[in-house]
Amino acid sequence: MRIVLVGPPGAGKGTQAQYIAKHFSVPHVSTGDLFRGNIDRETDLGKQVKGLLSAGELVPDEITNAMVENRLAEEDARGGFLLDGFPRNLGQADWLGDLLAGQGTALDVVVELQVPQEEIVKRLSGRRTCRSCGEAAHVVFNPPKTPGVCDNCGGELYQRDDDREDKVQRRLEVYAEQTAPIVGYYREKGLLVEVPATGEVEAVTQRALAAIKDRAGN
């Protein structure tokens, strides 16, 4: 099974990707993990990424594409994979299609996790992180026993800059500009399934699995 998972920030892609990949016994391939792994191993690509990120610059598609190609060539991904965080734009989507076609394969399904914008803002702007241990909390969904204090270690909980409401709105704007167009791209190809991603995590997983199996005919 070859799956792409898309959706806005705060849609729960990382969590759902783990469950879906486990169900189909395919590797969960996250671009964030690829970046970190290449940087940690000090590969040529990793050194380039580290330099770009340190300079506050975006990683160009050709570097991201090369990392994805290397990962999909590994033994565990030859029979299938779940891509999370890739493709992010139409250029990457075209490139991925060409890569797979050259291998005599193709994507089976593209899953779009759908969450109303106001729910995303509530999810992300309510997140709090412990300065001491990194434990996560949420003022609505997982409130600490004492406001502002980490349940795990007693450290101070703070709101990351990226989780401020204005920054969340900007992240959603960037998603709408860059990544949302690939939803239409895959819809035209008949690959897209839309999955409402509100409610309990397990319920979302079951909806996603049912949609994938229906689309793939399994």
Query: In the annotation, is 207 catalytic?
Result: no
**143 in a known ligand binding site:** no
**57 in a known ligand binding site:** yes
Q: Is the peptide bond before 87 cis (omega within 30 degrees of 0)?
A: yes
Cα separation, 177 vs 44, in Å, equals 30
The catalytic residue among 22, 47, 78, 160 is: 160
Q: Provide the H-helix boundaries in 25-164.
A: 31-41, 44-54, 61-72, 90-102, 117-125
**5 in a known ligand binding site:** no
**31 in a known ligand binding site:** yes
Query: In the annotation, is 41 catalytic?
Result: no
**48 in a known ligand binding site:** no
Q: 112 in helix, strand or coil?
A: strand
Query: In the annotation, is 13 catalytic?
Result: yes
**11 in a known ligand binding site:** yes
**141 in a known ligand binding site:** no
**123 in a known ligand binding site:** no
The catalytic residue among 2, 71, 122, 127 is: 127
Cα separation, 24 vs 2, in Å, equals 10
Query: In the annotation, is 2 catalytic?
Result: no
**133 in a known ligand binding site:** yes
The catalytic residue among 13, 71, 122, 128 is: 13
Tell me how far CA of residue 144 lies from CA of 95, 133, 138, 140, 207, in angstroms: 45, 14, 8, 10, 30
**10 in a known ligand binding site:** yes
Cα separation, 106 vs 1, in Å, equals 10
**58 in a known ligand binding site:** yes
The catalytic residue among 171, 187, 213, 215 is: 171
Query: In the annotation, is 171 catalytic?
Result: yes
Catalytic residue ranges: 13, 88, 127, 160, 171
Question: Which residues contribute to the annotated binding site for AMP?
Answer: 31, 36, 57-59, 85-88, 92, 160, 171
Question: Which residues contribute to the annotated binding site for Zn(2+)?
Answer: 130, 133, 150, 153
Question: Which residues contribute to the annotated binding site?
Answer: 10-15, 31, 36, 57-59, 85-88, 92, 127, 130, 133, 150, 153, 160, 171, 199
